[in-house]
Amino acid sequence: MQNNEQIQVARELGLRDEEYQRILDILQRPPTPTELAMFSVEWSEHCGYPHSRRWFELFPREGKFPVLVGEDAGGIVYQGQAVVFKMESHNHPSQVEPRQGAATGIGGIIRDIFGSGARPIACLDSLHFGPLDNARSNFIFKGVVDGIAFYGNCVGVPTVAGELYFHPSYQGNCLVNVMSIGIASQDRLAKSWAKGKGNLIIYAGNRTGRDGIGGCSILASQEFSEQDEKRPSVQIGDPFTEKCLIEATMEALATGFLVGIKDMGAAGLTCSSSEMAAAGKSGVKIYLDRIPVREEAMEPWEIMMSESQERMLLCVKRGYEDSVLQIFHKWGLEAVVVGEVVDGDNITIEFNGKMVADIPAQELTKPPVYTPPAEKPAYLERINHYDWNDLPLPNNWNEILLKLMASPNLCSRHSVFEQYDHMVQINTSMLPGTGTVILRVKNLPWGIAVTTDCNPVFCYLDPYRGSQIAVAEAARNLAACGAQPAGITDCLNFGNPQKPDRYWQFIEAIKGISDACKFFDLPVVSGNVSFYNESPTGPIHPTPTIGMIGIIEDVQKAVNAAFKDFDDVIVLLGETRNEIGGSEYLRVIHQQEFGPAPQIDLSAEKNLQEFLIDAVRQGLVQSSSDLSEGGLACALGEGCICGQEKKGCLIDIGNLPNIRLDALLFGESCGRALITCKPENFATLEKLARTKTIPFFVIGKVTRESLNIYNNQQSLISVSIEDLWKAWYRTL
């Protein structure tokens, strides 16, 4: 092929001219078509993180518990058990083909977890769509939920929690961020390398087809434009095969014959083979004609680039290959020896006796690093200096509360999570819908609390502060049920990094996350970056989704958000400020979106979290929830109706700070929580709060029926529980 012609092909594969030049330098010759394809996927934004990698150095990698940081998934260690977790995006495939896009997202993240040697025990999804009244957004929303149910239910990993958020900025580019959590005895974790000359490379699972070719380089590393037909880049999921693959892999790992293992996800065989070689500082030779293929006459570059699902690559001790192959065969899966570990450090691909690729693995897995110009976006000035004193105060507060409770971002999510099997594996001790979800660990007293969090509007108004808030809110969420925050994974969703304002948002978010994590002593154990989330209607709001896990020492002591008994005392913790910027109230009631985002005081947050964990541990708390979207009034509303038995409450806000009433009721000041306690525990609780200098406001008590809020004995809100429930329960 002529050089010019090849440069053209390189461009079509998403490679830059200078990258093509670098390939020539590495190889000292023009690349073969297969090599060019391999570089294009391995150096793509989705696999190689060229625009983001250098910033990861800012993230803390140590915390309260021992930390495992891996390429595919990291985790923390508690009492000898490794809790492995990771979050990943499947945004673009889901926008193009919602059902399969979401389904294969689940499949991919689960493989990352069991590829590390841990059994997947739960999934969470953070989903962002355009408004429901937009037909296309509604279609995508339904398709994504259906895809998650289709794949997740069959594969036998419970989908237990997550987020669901609607906003116009996601209309042309939805976000589907999926997180998976696994657990294994620490000494049973697997390596993702190929090592030891003569050891064999085994391919196991689904056949390789022409699906998903260029999924990571073409689909995930470019913006959506008007007329693109990108459906062929989306893969098709087969959860049954994945389920068998999980069981077979766990069995194979237990034999002790595996040297290393890696899943074939983005960039398929290219990524798994070259990264296993690079990690083991070994050479790996693959006989490509031995790969089981779905179609005849597949070209070598197609086989290397395919993102067909449910495939694993294993490095097995020579002499033990038959026992390993047998396990996969028993589960009805194909498994064949396709290569071996060789001298040197090249990844070598042979096809029908002909060498089609021969690349230094270290070079292939070392993508270029780019730091494009960053510039503070112009819009920030405009939206953060709004005089909201002119904003009219509502006169019918009942109506406002009901409208907010019914809004798509605040209403009950039961119609979504009930479509997911959230109980399989019988670990879900705190079910979704009533607070923070907790997974017990069988035969042990402790459990794992899980959450995902991000308020994209706050991140739009101030990416640095918004990202800190996301970390703080996730931690508060875990602390509310009594769990000690232990570590995070992140999924950083942004627009085109080559546009300076988008790149600035990204850098600010990274700094915000890492500063908050350092303050809270939380390690970032794994993560994922998704750029190019733009469509002709514009970029998404910056969305650095935080996935966090916490450890609760005694699952029996955990509490949820539902009010429990009549006459329990209701206490608001933390400072409510005169803040309304970025709130749901502002968006839903006044159709406005302006700042500033709420202030955040990290040390006050930390105190509050420690207090909550302590109070739950001492059994002083009946119910507990952090305050976020919808503010105090909506938290009270949820406390009344999210439990099995509905309750009411009688509140007087007279002794709260004297600020605008809408900010007091619906403002979203950070660092707050709502708890209830039995009257007899009140004194102890108050004393505990005083020693920790937690702002502590007794605002009322749990009653039999209706939600009543007074301001110095003057009625502000009086809503029947029936009406509240109807508003909250029926939107989705």
Binding site for other proteins (CB under 8 A): 146, 149, 153-156, 238-241, 243-244, 247, 331-332, 414, 417-426, 428-429, 431, 440, 442-443, 555-556
Q: Which of 51, 90, 128, 167 is catalytic?
A: 90
Q: Which of 46, 128, 422, 541 is catalytic?
A: 46
Is residue 90 annotated as a catalytic residue, yes or no?
yes
Which residues have C-beta within 8 Å of that of residue 443, sequence separation ≥ 6?
none
Q: In what helix (H) or strand (E) does residue 148 lie, and over which residues does it extend?
A: helix 135-155
Closest CA to 364 of 47, 14, 10: 47
- Is 46 or 422 the residue whose CB approaches other proteins more closely? 422
Q: Give the separation between CA 215 and CA 230, rounded to whole angstroms.
A: 9
- Cis amide prior to 485 (ω within 30 degrees): no
Strand partners, 203: 313, 336
Query: At closest approach, how far in Å is the CB of 147 from other proteins?
Result: 12
- Is 146 or 299 the residue whose CB approaches other proteins more closely? 146
* Token output for 548: 């966090």
Q: Give the separation between CA 90 and CA 314, rounded to whole angstroms.
A: 25
- The edge-to-edge listing of strands for the beta sheet with 283-287 is 258-263, 311-316, 200-205, 334-342, 283-287, 346-351, 354-360
Sign of CA dihedral 222, 223, 227, 230: positive
* Token output for 89: 């995006």
Q: Give the separation between CA 597 and CA 173, rounded to whole angstroms.
A: 24
Q: In what helix (H) or strand (E) does residue 661 lie, and over which residues does it extend?
A: helix 661-666
DSSP conformation class of 303: H
- Is 356 or 616 the residue whose CB approaches other proteins more closely? 616
Q: Give the separation between CA 628 and CA 673, rounded to whole angstroms.
A: 9
What is the rounded end-to-end Cα distance, in angstroms, of the chain? 56
- Is 33 or 162 the residue whose CB approaches other proteins more closely? 162
Query: At closest approach, how far in Å is the CB of 556 from other proteins?
Result: 6
- Is 218 or 244 the residue whose CB approaches other proteins more closely? 244
Is residue 541 annotated as a catalytic residue, yes or no?
no
- Is 230 or 440 the residue whose CB approaches other proteins more closely? 440
Query: At closest approach, how far in Å is the CB of 370 from other proteins?
Result: 43
| Residue linked to tokens 């026992």 | 323
Question: How far, rounded to the nearest angstrom, does the alpha carbon of residue 479 sit from its chain's CA centroid?
Answer: 19
Query: At closest approach, how far in Å is the CB of 414 from other proteins?
Result: 8
| Long-range residue pairs from 507-511, CB within 8 A, at least 24 positions apart, any chain | 507/55, 507/374, 508/462, 508/463, 508/464, 508/467, 509/459, 509/463, 509/464, 509/466, 509/467, 509/542, 509/544, 510/52, 510/55, 510/56, 510/58, 510/59, 510/467, 510/544, 511/58, 511/464, 511/467
Query: At closest approach, how far in Å is the CB of 469 from other proteins?
Result: 32
- Is 556 or 693 the residue whose CB approaches other proteins more closely? 556
- Is 245 or 635 the residue whose CB approaches other proteins more closely? 245
So which residues are the catalytic ones? 46, 90
